[in-house]
Amino acid sequence: MQIDSSPSREIGVFDSGVGGFTVLRELRTLLPSARLRYLADTAYAPYGNRSPDEIRARSIAISEHLIERGAELIVVACNTATAHAIEALRERWPALPFVGTEPGIKPAVAATRNGRIGLLATPSTAASARLRALIERHIGDRQVVVQVVVQGCAGVVDRIEAGDLGSAELQALVDRYCEPLRAAGVDTALLGCTHYPFIEPLWQAALGPEVELLRIETAVARRALSLWTPTEGDIPALDIETSGDPVALQRWIGRVLGWQDTAVQAWQPQSKTASSC
Ligand code: DGL
């Protein structure tokens, strides 16, 4: 792996913390020649408990930094930031492509056999107008009546950030959040937060083997691939930065992703908007 701090053409990726690594993993596979920069806003995680204004301010400050470092494409690898900030980002930088991450309502509507879909997301995504609009847009796609049970899951991201991917306490929390989905008899469930695939077996155990779990990160990476033209001068590299503790993040990456010796740099925003939140 190559770490180089000189500005050059790159793809910027961000999330509140480690969740976006599920997307980054796919990007590395699909775009092996691209220079990638990942920013984990760990000091402000979880975004799911924060106000839309705070999430927007953080997303703007992070994007400013990524653009300054040479981003020509930004992947918002976070459903919560997409729900509250992607419109503001596109308005501010109209010439720059932003790829958002949103629960795959459309594929879920196509996949469900009984018309009942569950959606597990952060409290903030679950309450967002953008998610409501997305559901409205797609529930009529088929002749079956579709019901979407949306469940906000406070506390799950905090545990994943802390490195808990399988404790009995976390399974109990997951079981509790899956209960309304079970009661509604969903046959399809969406993981509407990029952190959640790290504990996919726990969701599956809580929902039962007959429920199909749908993830979104491959589709997000494919969308980025469709917007990125590799050039001869591209130098593959991965830079990782965090607003939290770089040593702790490096340890997490080594343990969970198996990316040993991946350097992590500290980052703090310059912008007044972000530091005031
Ligand atoms: N991983 C993010 C998402 O997809 C954010 C989770 C959080 O920070 O609450 O929503």
Mutation pick for ligand 1 pocket among 21, 78, 216 (CB with most ligand atoms within 8 Å): 78
Gap between the Cα atoms of 124 and 273, Å rounded: 20
Domain annotation for the chain: domains and CATH numbers: 10-101+218-275 (3.40.50.1860), 105-215 (3.40.50.1860)
- Residues annotated as part of the active site: 78, 193
Q: What is the mean pLDDT of residues 133-152?
A: 89
pTM: 0.94
What pLDDT is stored for residue 103 in this prediction?
97
Residue 17 Cα to ligand 1 middle (Å)? 8
Mutation pick for ligand 1 pocket among 160, 194, 220 (CB with most ligand atoms within 8 Å): 194
What pLDDT is stored for residue 2 in this prediction?
46
Q: Quick one: pLDDT band at residue 141, thresholds 50, 70, 90?
A: confident
Indicate which atom in ligand 1 lies nearest the CA of residue 16. Answer: 8
Strand partners, 99: 75
Pocket of ligand 1 (CB under 6 A): 15-16, 19, 45-48, 78-80, 122, 125, 157, 193-195
Q: What is the mean pLDDT of residues 63-91?
A: 98
What pLDDT is stored for residue 1 in this prediction?
47
Indicate which atom in ligand 1 lies nearest the CA of residue 49. Answer: 9
Per-residue burial over 86-120, b = 16 or more CB atoms within 10 Å of its CB, e = otherwise: bebbeeebeebbbbbbbbbbeebbeebeebbbbbb
Residue 51 Cα to ligand 1 middle (Å)? 13
Residue 157 Cα to ligand 1 middle (Å)? 7
Residue 233 Cα to ligand 1 middle (Å)? 34
Residue 8 Cα to ligand 1 middle (Å)? 28
Q: Mind listing the pLDDT tens digit for each residue in 176-223? A: 999 999 999 999 999 999 999 999 999 999 999 999 999 999 999 999
Residue percentage of the chain with pLDDT more than 90: 87
How distant is the alpha carbon of residue 3 from its chain centre?
24
Determine which residue's CA is closest to atom 9 belonging to ligand 1: 48
Determine which residue's CA is closest to atom 8 belonging to ligand 1: 46
Alpha carbon distance, N-terminus to C-terminus of the chain: 34
Mean pLDDT of the chain: 94
Q: Quick one: pLDDT band at residue 274, thresholds 50, 70, 90?
A: low
Per-residue burial over 22-43, b = 16 or more CB atoms within 10 Å of its CB, e = otherwise: bbbbbbbeebeebbbbbbbbbb
Is the per-residue pLDDT at 119 higher than 80? Answer: yes
User: What's the burial of 271, exposed, middle or buried (CB within 10 Å: 0-12/13-18/19+)?
Assistant: middle
Indicate which atom in ligand 1 lies nearest the CA of residue 77. Answer: 4
Q: Which of 55-69, 188-202, 224-238, 259-273 has the least mean pLDDT?
A: 259-273
